[in-house]
Structure 1
Amino acid sequence: MSTGFSPYQLPAEYSDIRSATRDVCDAGVAPHAAEADAAAAFPQASFEALKAADLHAPHIPAEYGGAGIDALGTAIVIEEVARACASTSLIPAVNKLGTVPLLLDASEKLKQRYLPPVAAGEAMFSYCLSEPEAGSDAASMKTRAVRDGDTWILDGVKRWITNAGVSRYYTVFAATDPEAGSRGISAFVVEKDDEGVSFGAPEKKLGIKASPTREVYFDSVRLPADRLIGDEGKGFSLAMRTLDHTRVTIAAQALGIAQGALDAAGAYATEREQFGKPISGFQAIQFKLADAAMKISAARELTYAAAARSERVDADLTYFGAAAKCFASDAAMEITTDMVQVLGGYGYTQDFPLERMMRDAKITQIYEGTNEVQRIVMARELLKGKAFG
């Protein structure tokens, strides 16, 4: 029941990326998804499968030891991984989220130090922006970095940090000039083993249970001056530019979850019989499947269009990144709910993957900017005349 086609023909390299990723996920990710979800444990076996195929951080350029897959190819990788296991898809997605600030603004020395271990699968990278009192209002963060000679002293708390405790490296945003508001925020690389870094207990979540989410604490963490990413005071702008690119990865994740749900429900509908025939023969079921396929097709086109803009860094990337993330995640939540309904009582049980997919879909409407924030972003771009037309 896969609708993984596109009305326009993508170059063969992208079909090859999809096919190779799907093969890896069918063999090495999907079999572990339910167990990892039930145990709320990091999917180590799935990570190893991705690592062996060089799909754990596919976006890292070849000059740093990576696969060098472009933004569209990376979106396809994340889509296919999410089709099998949403939690596992956060490995390539968050590796990208954590490293894009370096790729955008870091010194060559910093890139050469931190990107190759991620490319080799020896380390993961997380992104620390949100705080207990600074979610959507990220500029009001309380984490501070104070200069002390040739070092910085970092103090504060970050919340909702994906893969915290598993990742070795963290891109951390902190106020270096609190009086300057958003223009007084800077970005740093922090290592898990830096003295003064610690982690809270794993959050008990509705979905993406196999991806650990923890608070990260910084207690007088002393950082060398060369851990600064880009220029002092440019961190908030860097954080927003990063999200322009990585909202595309959340769109891809949502797209993959929705596709997995349609595939599972379609296969069930062709086998399950009621009133003497498969339920796929009933119009009520056909309409649900058709609506899901239609919305997935639309989400895929928008996501791929946004990915292409991410690769080119087009002027309308902000709009398209927000639009793709918002549309695809809203569609995923609606589609997974409908696909649970297709299975009826079975859809509500853990014997089938639909209930997990429904739970996993919800977070895509929330993280990397809630969909309410995405609509604000889109409206601002429209009113500034930066969105299409």
Structure 2
Amino acid sequence: MQTSVLYDRQVYDPQTLLDHLSQLTQEEFAPRAAQYDQTATFPAKNFETLFDAGLHAPAVPIKYGGLGLGHNSDILTLWMMTRELAKADLAFTRCWEGHTNIQVLLTANANDAQKQRWFEGIVQRGEKWAGWSGEPLSKVPGQTSGIGTTVKVVEGGYIVDGCKVFATGSDGLQWAILFVSTAGTGAVRHNDGPAHSVLMLACDLSDPSVSFDSTWWKPIGMRGSVSYRVQFDQTFIPKENLIGYPGQYLLEEWQTRFTPQYGAAFLGAAEGAYGYALAHIKKQRREKDAYVQHRIAKSMMNIETMDLWLRKVALLWETGQHQQAKEAGNRFRYLSEKLALDTLEHCTRMCGARAM
């Protein structure tokens, strides 16, 4: 890839940026969505489009060539971008979420040398990132081998061995932050070791000791997120790739900064389903049906409620009310999932027979 022409925040206001993204979503991302789902392939062309449009590095600081969106500046615009993409392709949006969340994480926690090195790759070459934790320890029926990684401190760095699952983006990416624990398998969510045992290690995925198993990923939905099983065969991570201090992700409650992204994606997906349903019933000329109108109204209220919550959480972050923002963000994440599923139910019944 060549260097993209990035937006100048002094020239393009947020609405101009969102209008441009909306156009790309309708004209390019939506038409590609079915193919990525049917083939269960990484949405590489979509990321190329974002790069060419200067939208690939939204949360990279302006001094490094990005747009500088973040929790202390304009997090709402970042979440509105996520919302827009989710209207067309939720699997692609999941890959985007991981890529932008890592930009936020690096902005706050990486040292100057790390920022210079990794942001250059994102801005200049369109490199893509994700964060991988997935190490569920409980087995499902038919599962014979365990899942998990171990990390050993060695001279000059760390040795990671084992596997992770739900590795969104997988072989479509260049880098991933591995959330691992020196206390054993389980990473962040399934390890009961002390908080300071959790490390954030940046892994170059071109390392030959890293491999992917696509046969593990056979879902009925979200196929384009290519969340494969990833194997680390004594993978060496140099000490200069340790991000922040041990335990920082848990001790500073970083997950609470990312949960609203899920809510923004649920909101966008609900709007996408609602838009499809509305077009469907208009084509059938059923807008005046009382049952249909009832479901339209319920869907509209759900979407409006999610929109208000999204804006509330963003305002709390942007005005420095961090504890309130964390709590509200978790509530929004929970509520948005419920309302999005409820909206999908209304849309399904809107498009079906009146008897439903």
Establish whether TM, by shorter chain, passes 0.5: yes
Distance in structure 1 (CA, Å) of the matches to 2:138 and 2:161 = 15
Q: When the two structures are aligned, how many residues end up with a matched partner?
A: 322
The alpha carbon displacement at 1:111 in A equals: 1.4
The alpha carbon displacement at 1:262 in A equals: 1.0
- Give the aligned residue type for 2:129: F
Partner of 1:286: 293
Partner of 1:149: 155
The alpha carbon displacement at 1:25 in A equals: 0.9
After superposition, the C-alpha distances for 1:112-140 in whole angstroms (9 at most, x for unaligned) are: 111222234521111111203179xxxxx
Partner of 1:112: 116
Is this contact kept in 2: 1:66–1:120, CA < 8 A?
Answer: no
Distance in structure 2 (CA, Å) of the matches to 1:298 and 1:121 = 39
- Indicate which of 102, 105, 109 corresponds to 2:106: 102
> With structure 1 as the length reference, what TM-score do the two structures score?
0.77
Distance in structure 1 (CA, Å) of the matches to 2:79 and 2:164 = 27
- Give the aligned residue type for 1:80: E
Specify the SS of the correspondent of 1:127: strand
Q: How does 1:230-269 map to 2 (within 5 A)?
A: 230-237=244-251, 240-241=253-254, 243-269=255-281
Partner of 1:216: 230
- Indicate which of 181, 187, 204 corresponds to 1:191: 204
Q: How does 1:72-83 map to 2 (within 5 A)?
A: 72-83=76-87
Q: How does 1:1-389 map to 2 (within 5 A)?
A: 13-69=13-69, 70-120=74-124, 122-133=126-137, 142-177=148-183, 180-201=193-214, 203-237=217-251, 240-241=253-254, 243-272=255-284, 278-312=285-319, 314-344=322-352
Q: What is the root-mean-square deviation in Å for CA atoms of aligned residues? A: 2.3
Residues 57 and 206 (structure 1 numbering): CA distance in 2 closer, same or farther, change over 3 Å?
Answer: farther
Residues 328 and 57 (structure 1 numbering): CA distance in 2 closer, same or farther, change over 3 Å?
Answer: farther
Task: Report sequence identity in percent.
Answer: 23
Residues 29 and 298 (structure 1 numbering): CA distance in 2 closer, same or farther, change over 3 Å?
Answer: same
Specify the SS of the correspondent of 2:202: strand
- Give the aligned residue type for 1:248: P
Is this contact kept in 2: 1:129–1:172, CA < 8 A?
Answer: yes
Distance in structure 1 (CA, Å) of the matches to 2:237 and 2:136 = 23
After superposition, the C-alpha distances for 1:243-272 in whole angstroms (9 at most, x for unaligned) are: 212111111111111011111111221220
- Give the aligned residue type for 1:79: R
Structure 2 unaligned blocks of 5 or more: 1-11, 140-146, 185-191
Distance in structure 2 (CA, Å) of the matches to 1:303 and 1:114 = 30
Distance in structure 1 (CA, Å) of the matches to 2:79 and 2:109 = 22
Distance in structure 2 (CA, Å) of the matches to 1:42 and 1:221 = 24
Distance in structure 1 (CA, Å) of the matches to 2:117 and 2:32 = 33
Partner of 2:4: none
The alpha carbon displacement at 1:200 in A equals: 1.7
> With structure 2 as the length reference, what TM-score do the two structures score?
0.84
Is this contact kept in 2: 1:58–1:92, CA < 8 A?
Answer: no
Distance in structure 1 (CA, Å) of the matches to 2:279 and 2:318 = 35
Is this contact kept in 2: 1:176–1:233, CA < 8 A?
Answer: no
- Give the aligned residue type for 2:241: R
Specify the SS of the correspondent of 2:338: helix
